[in-house]
Amino acid sequence: LGASGQQGYFAGDFENEPPLLEELGINVEHILLKTKAVVLPSQRFNKNTALTDPALIVEDADLAGPLALALTLGGEMLLAGKLQFGYIYGFGLFGCMAMTLILNLMSPKAVSFWTVTSILGYALLPVNILALVKIVLVNIIQLNTLARILAVLTILWSTTASTRLLEVGCNMRNQRYLMAYPIALLYSAFVLITIF
C-alpha cells in the first residue's frame, strides 16, 4: 500500500493523540493524592486537595496503585525467602469482598467492589514499608520485639488510612469504628504473613 501512494491504516496525526495514560484511564494525580492520604492519614482534607469531594474518592476506583502495591509486597516477601503471592491475593480478594458486603449493609448508598478494592489496596503501603524494614533491619539484627512493635503500628496506620478514606468517600462518619474493626483484622492478616 505504501508504494502505491495510499496511506496505511495506522498513518495518522500522532501529535493530536492523547497520552497513553489518559487513554488507559490512569490518573497519576489521583494516584499520588490517594498515596499521600495513606501516608498522612491524620491530615485533614482541605479545599486545596482534590480528595475533598467524596464522590471523587468513590468514583475514581483505579486499580493500578493497589495492584502495584500487592505485587511489590509479594516481591518483598520473595526477597525475604517466602513465596506468599497466593496468600496476598487470597486475603486481598476475600477481604475486599467481605468489606464490600459489610459497607453495603451499613451505608445508605451502594458502595462498589472496585472502590473498596482501590482504597484497601492503597492502604497496603504501610505493610510494604514494614516488609522492607523487616528485610533490611530485622532479618539482619534479629530484633523480634522491634518487629512486633512495628507490626502493631503498621496495623494501626493501615486501618486509620483506609477507614478515613472510606469514611470520607462513603459519608459514613458515624460508622467509622464499625468499619475499622474488620479492616484491622484484614491488615492483621497481611502483617502476620509479613513478619512471620
DSSP for 150-185 reads HHHHHHHHHHHHHHHHHHHHHT-GGGHHHHHHHHHH
Q: pLDDT per residue over 13-53, tens digit each?
A: 677 788 888 777 777 887 888 888 888 887 665 555 555 56
Calculate the alpha carbon distances from 13 to 9, 18, 28, 121 in Å.
Answer: 12, 11, 25, 38
Within a domain: residue 148? Answer: yes
Within a domain: residue 53? Answer: yes
Within a domain: residue 167? Answer: yes
**140 or 135: which leads in pLDDT:** 135
pLDDT score of 44: 63
The Cα 196–Cα 194 span in angstroms is 6
Within a domain: residue 114? Answer: yes
Within a domain: residue 68? Answer: yes
Nearest of 94, 117, 91, 111 to residue 34 by alpha carbon: 117
How many domains, the chain? 1
Within a domain: residue 177? Answer: yes
Within a domain: residue 103? Answer: yes
150-158 mean pLDDT: 96
pLDDT score of 8: 52
Residue 161 has pLDDT above 60, yes or no: yes
**90 or 3: which leads in pLDDT:** 90
Within a domain: residue 20? Answer: no
Residue 169 has pLDDT above 90, yes or no: no
Residue 131 has pLDDT above 80, yes or no: yes
Q: pLDDT per residue over 69-124, tens digit each?
A: 999 999 999 998 889 899 999 999 999 999 999 999 998 889 999 999 999 999 99
Q: Which helix (H) or strand (E) holds 134?
A: none
Residue 59 has pLDDT above 90, yes or no: no
Mean pLDDT of the chain: 85
Domain holding 191, by residue range, is: 29-195
Which of the listed ranges 3-12, 21-30, 71-80, 142-151 does the model predict with the highest average pLDDT?
71-80
63-68 mean pLDDT: 90
The Cα 97–Cα 35 span in angstroms is 22
